[in-house]
Amino acid sequence: MNTIEYFKERFDLLQSVHKDSGLDIIRQKAFNTFNKMGIPTTRHEEWKYTRISGLFNKEYQFPVTQTATSLSQKDLDAVRLPGHEQASELFFINGLFSFPLSVVRSEALVVMPLEEAAKNEYKDIVSKNFGHSSNYLKDGINALNTAFVQGAVFIHVKKGQIPEHPIYIYNITDARSGNILSQPRSLMHISENAQVQIVETYTTIGLEESFTNQVMEIIVEKDARVEYYKIQNDASHTNQVSTTHIRQVGKSYTHTVTISLDGGIVRNNLNVVLDAEYCEAHLYGLYFQQGQSHIDNHTVVDNVKPNCFSNELYKGIIDDNATGVFNGKIFVQPQAQKTNAYQSNKNVLLSDTASVNSKPQLEIFANDVKCSHGCTVGRLNEEGLFYLQSRGISEKIARSLLLHAFAVDILEHIKPEPIRKYVDKLISERLEFDIT
């Protein structure tokens, strides 16, 4: 059976099982789009350097209904992040949100199935915002997620409230008995004057392949503040397309840090839509890839309204045969005067066979703006290396110190301390030298 036929079969099954969710019409529309567009090939401008079509030649199990997990407590504990005792912990298993496993530890949060939110008091929020990312991601991959939306979650941070501890979101794929396709979906609504920290990770358990096609949409209201941290360190037999679509609909502040340390093919879409005056957005990223892994960060900052500020810094270290892609778009719409938008991408290549494609893209339609972008690709600073070696530090450790120093720039933007230390430790392990 070819891929499209297989998806058709699964889709029909899903539609017959979940008839009255209120989402079936949205799914049907998205499935039509998917049928029309198919899986993006490298002929698609946005997928020029990232080839995912090959991933769909494999057979995946693709759960469309919730079943009890066979993961043990030990499996789950291995996935948990430091600080989890206080955090609100949300679990997706094979792309479906798991209420039995998830624990909400803050009164400031409301967590419910998206199907429910689509019908109750939150239905306006859902109808206005769900699927907004498809305006920016015109490809079959985004449509594929929406076509199968089910087991999705709606997360609401109440007006004026601040959960004391972060929300940890664990995306777990159980690939012990076959290749798994996971499609987690969530919609987050950060109310007026609320604040929240979100940390998200991806873990595949088992040795079969996994492909995760995730979409998270976040709406940020006036005077709200959001920190979002994505940590990707899954095994090399796992692949993912991870979309985070942030829409700031009132004067608000967002801060995202994307850390990508491992995985087979990893594609991140981070969109930040500045849809109100005086919004501020900070986008940071660090990718440190080795082996055969491929990391692609596509970012969009869309200045829709005037007087917004955005700052973006992505840094990459690429070793072995790994490849990196950075594509950073900044749109300044005609009415978005007085925009300040900055972007920078810096890369260090550690081997002759490592490569990176960096593409800044500014599309400015207003005339009174300040925008800048820059990208560098280079090798490790030889002068710095000699300086450290001249102080008795071996070349290997000197390299580690310099690479760690390169990464610190991004690490220091991870504000929750246990998470910062955790990521720092992952990097120190990779560098085989712990500076602390």
- 395-434 residues near other proteins, rule: CB under 8 A: 395, 397-398, 401-402, 404-409
DSSP string of 197-246? Answer: EEEEEEEEESSS-EEEEEEEEEEE-TT-EEEEEEEEE--TTEEEEEEEEE
Task: Check if the beta carbon of residue 158 is closer than 8 Å to that of residue 193.
Answer: no
Q: Does 344 bind other proteins (CB under 8 A)?
A: no
Specify the residue, 362 or 411, whose C-beta has the smaller distance to other proteins.
411
> How many Cα neighbours within 13 Å face the side chain of 172?
26
By CB under 8 A, how many residues form the interface with other proteins? 26
Give the shortest CB-42-to-other proteins separation in angstroms. 35
Q: How far is the CB of 427 from other proteins (least distance, A)?
A: 12
Stretch that binds other proteins, among 68-76, 126-134, 378-386, 419-427 (CB under 8 A): 378-386
Give whichever of 188 and 259 is closer to other proteins, judged by the CB atom. 259
Answer positive or negative: Cα dihedral of 5, 145, 37, 47.
negative
- Pick 365 or 386: Cβ nearer other proteins: 386
Closer residue to other proteins in complex, CB, 78/405? 405
Least separation, in Å, of the C-beta of 256 and other proteins?
A: 21
User: Residue 4 interacts with other proteins (CB under 8 A)?
Assistant: no
Burial of 78 (0-12, 13-18, 19+ CB in 10 A): exposed
**DSSP helix/strand/coil, 367:** coil
- Closest approach of Cβ 258 to other proteins, in Å? 19
Q: Which CB atom, from 118 or from 398, has the smaller least distance to other proteins?
A: 398
Residue closer to other proteins (CB basis): 188 or 317: 317
Residue 57 binding other proteins, by CB under 8 A? no
Measured from the CB atom, is 318 or 407 closer to other proteins? 407
CA separation for the pair 436, 429 (Å, rounded): 12
HSE, CB side, 13 Å, CA atoms: give it for residue 38.
13
Give 81's DSSP letter.
P
How many residues are listed for the chain in this entry?
436
Report the distance separating Cα 290 and Cα 233, nearest Å. 12
Tokens found for residue 162: 């601040």
Sheet with 280-289: strands ordered across: 96-103, 88-93, 167-174, 195-205, 225-233, 253-262, 280-289, 309-318, 340-349, 370-378
What angle (nearest 5°) sits at the alpha carbon of residue 286, between those of residues 282 and 287?
145
Q: How far is the CB of 346 from other proteins (least distance, A)?
A: 11
Least distance to other proteins, CB of residue 380, Å: 11
The DSSP-derived string for 320-334 is TT-EEEEEEEEEE-T
Q: Does 435 bind other proteins (CB under 8 A)?
A: yes
Minimum CB separation of residue 391 from other proteins in Å reads 4
Binder of other proteins out of 99, 384, 426, 428 (CB under 8 A): 384
Nearer of residues 307 and 389 to other proteins, judged by Cβ: 389
Question: Directed axis angle between helix 3-17 and helix 24-37, to 10°?
Answer: 170
**Between residues 77 and 383, which has the closer beta carbon with respect to other proteins?**
383
Residue number with CB closer to other proteins (365 or 387): 387
The yes or no reply on residue 382 touching other proteins (CB under 8 A) is yes
Q: Is there a contact between 206 and 172 (Cβ–Cβ < 8 Å)?
A: no
Footprint of other proteins on 18-37 (CB under 8 A): none
Residues 6+ apart with CB under 8 A from 313: 283, 284, 285, 343, 344, 345, 346, 409, 410
The minimum distance between CB 260 and other proteins, in angstroms, equals 19
Q: What region does 330 belong to: left with phi over 0, alpha with psi -120 to 50, or beta?
A: beta
381 binds other proteins (CB under 8 A): yes
Write down the least CB distance from residue 395 to other proteins, Å: 7
Q: Which of 394, 425, 429, 432 binds other proteins (CB under 8 A)?
A: 394
C-beta of 377 vs 398, nearer to other proteins: 398
376 binds other proteins (CB under 8 A): no
- In whole angstroms, the minimum distance from the beta carbon of 435 to other proteins comes to 5
Would you tell me which residues interact with other proteins (CB under 8 A)?
Answer: 381-384, 386-395, 397-398, 401-402, 404-409, 435-436
